[in-house]
Amino acid sequence: MYNPGGRKKETAQTPSVGLTFIQEGFPAALNVKCHKQPELRITMMDKTAATEAKIDRSKLQSCLVRQRELFAREHLRSAELFEQARSSMLSGVPMNWMVKWAGDFPLFVREAGGAHFIDVDGHEYIDLCLGDTGAMTGHAPPAAVEAIVERVRHGTTFMLPTEDSIWVAQELSRRFGLPFWQVALTATDANRFAIRLARQITGRKLILIFNWCYHGTVDETFITLEGGIAGVRRGNLGPAVDPTETTRVVEFNDISALEAALKDGAVACVLAEPAMTNIGIVQPEPGFHQALRDITRRTGTLLILDETHTICAGPGGCTQAWGLQPDMLTLGKPIASGIPAAVYGFSRDVAGRIAQAMSVGDSDTSGIGGTLAGNALSIAAMKATLEHVLTEPAYERMIALASRFTEGVQSVIQEKHLPWIVKQLGCRAEYWFSSEPPLNGGQAAAAVDSDLDCYMHLSALNAGILITPFHNMALISPATSEADIDRHSQVFRESVEAILG
Ligand SMILES: Cc1ncc(COP(=O)(O)O)c(C=O)c1O
């Protein structure tokens, strides 16, 4: 495991008799206006309690087999459709990740509303995956549906702006503190465009990312550290260039590595999530964001914060909640209630530098934009989402329910003496099969337990609960209820009890 700077593992954050540990202190460190804190916490087992419980691996294997059989028996129509689909789609799915589920085939969805969906076999599920954040608004939120239908009736795309775009840009400025905005169709595109612009205005070639991050299918970001050496990330298909030519990579929370990587002034931008979410949740240590901002400013490196997942922290993501001050910000997924849309914003200084680099004559061949980007439908959906769905009161409910989820899982961890933890960031929570919170992406990647992951996912699914396939993550929507959360706590308990030694 890569251990940046030979630092000791996490001792400062580990309470000796730890029931609940709440991290604090970001906004004060940044010396800007304090906003209400999102729930940001890690709860872990009381280490002075009785001996740690052990997972019985042979029980785990037999439970896994039973859950697989049950899944196959109960989802005959999905299995049939999957068989049909294999003759006309690669791997039998319209998008390659749709095979990354714990069962032997994906569920086919019939319909969804709020926090629930129904599959083609007629089973109803509590959706804690929510399209991996694309549906964090809940499915088909009525206010967004109304605005979307209304827009569809009156034309969706013109290559011309609609008045709604002004409201959306102003609202984004209010939430994130950046005065200028552009619209793309996906968060991947927003990141690509932000990186291009950063290169253009700094005249620098390289970017920097954190180990095991994910920012969409952006070529420059498919690079990881193995034993401290940077190389192509596992699974990266057909990379155009060796990513070490475009990108530097350091571990999250490793301030000295960051300093060393930026000090020669060759890096155009750091692209970062405020807290990592894609290798499980990895939270910033106190002082990390202040250091990130100081070092990037000192070295003339632009700071791009990707809030696509961390929008779970509150209406203005971690940027608002922790008082962060990025030069650029990107955000996609839930911002238009499931209609493809993403945004990227700039500080006044950055906007001025971009304006100097742009020419109207060549604007359609700049490598930035797209025919459908900024279309009237995406924008109408964003307006409705920001105005009526992802509102302050909605976040208050969602975050309280995520705390309820965390407490439900934690009570089982505690009672069963499991060496596991549960982490929460706003309305996102996940449990983790390790007794220590990972400090960085390298540690998080090394702690993955695929068999346990697979079993917990499948037993939840068979009990009518969908959690995010990539790790044990639950997301709460404005439509999720206390009953949904309590059902998860009960299913989690039963799943755990079945595999204890
Ligand atoms: C932080 C982050 N940024 C960007 C993206 C890319 O989003 P999309 O696949 O919608 O382009 C993702 C996708 O998971 C993400 O997690």
Q: What is the pLDDT of residue 336?
A: 98
Query: Which residue has its alpha carbon closest to ligand 1 atom 5?
Result: 216
Q: Say whether pLDDT at 30 is over 60.
A: no
Structure tokens at 168: 């959306």
Q: Please state the separation of Cα 212 from the chain's center in Å.
A: 12
Residues 95 and 212 occupy one common structural domain: no
Residues 157 and 276 occupy one common structural domain: yes
Distance 278 CA to ligand 1 centre (A): 9
Pairing mode, strands 20-22 and 267-272: unpaired
Q: Is the CB of 188 under 6 A from ligand 1?
A: yes
Residues 69 and 82 occupy one common structural domain: yes
Last residue of a domain, one of 389, 421, 437: 389
Q: Is the CB of 428 under 6 A from ligand 1?
A: no
Residues 121 and 153 occupy one common structural domain: no
Structure tokens at 287: 């002082």
Last residue of a domain, one of 365, 389, 413: 389
CATH code, 374:
3.40.640.10
Q: Say whether pLDDT at 107 is over 60.
A: yes
Q: Please state the separation of Cα 403 from the chain's center in Å.
A: 18
Distance 351 CA to ligand 1 centre (A): 24
Distance CA 25, CA 23 (A): 7
Measured from the Cα of 213, ligand 1's closest atom is 1
Q: What is the pLDDT of residue 138?
A: 98
Residues 45 and 93 occupy one common structural domain: yes
Q: What is the mean pLDDT of residues 455-468?
A: 96
Residues 218 and 153 occupy one common structural domain: yes
Distance 139 CA to ligand 1 centre (A): 19
Q: Say whether pLDDT at 10 is over 50.
A: no
3-state secondary structure of 114: strand
Q: What is the pLDDT of residue 53?
A: 80
Q: Say whether pLDDT at 13 is over 90.
A: no
Q: What is the pLDDT of residue 471?
A: 82
Amino acid at 339: I
Q: Say whether pLDDT at 219 is over 70.
A: yes
Residues 297 and 316 occupy one common structural domain: yes
Q: What is the mean pLDDT of residues 434-450?
A: 88
The closest of 249, 258, 330 to 290, measured between CA atoms, is 258
Residues 384 and 397 occupy one common structural domain: no
Give Cα separations from 288 to 255, 420, 440 (angstroms): 7, 25, 12
Distance 80 CA to ligand 1 centre (A): 31
CATH code, 82:
3.90.1150.10
Residues 335 and 260 occupy one common structural domain: yes
Distance 23 CA to ligand 1 centre (A): 26
Q: Is the CB of 186 under 6 A from ligand 1?
A: yes
User: Torsions phi, psi of 268, nearest 5?
Assistant: -70, -45
Domain that holds residue 467: 28-140+392-497
Residues 314 and 245 occupy one common structural domain: yes
Residues β-bridged to residue 276: 282
Last residue of a domain, one of 363, 389, 415: 389
Distance 186 CA to ligand 1 centre (A): 8
Query: Which residue has its alpha carbon closest to ligand 1 atom 9?
Result: 216
Q: At what angle do helices 450-462 and 482-497 cross, to 10 degrees?
A: 130
Distance CA 375, CA 159 (A): 7
Q: Say whether pLDDT at 310 is over 80.
A: yes
The domain tally of the chain equals 2
Q: Is residue 308 part of a domain?
A: yes
Structure tokens at 77: 């129509």
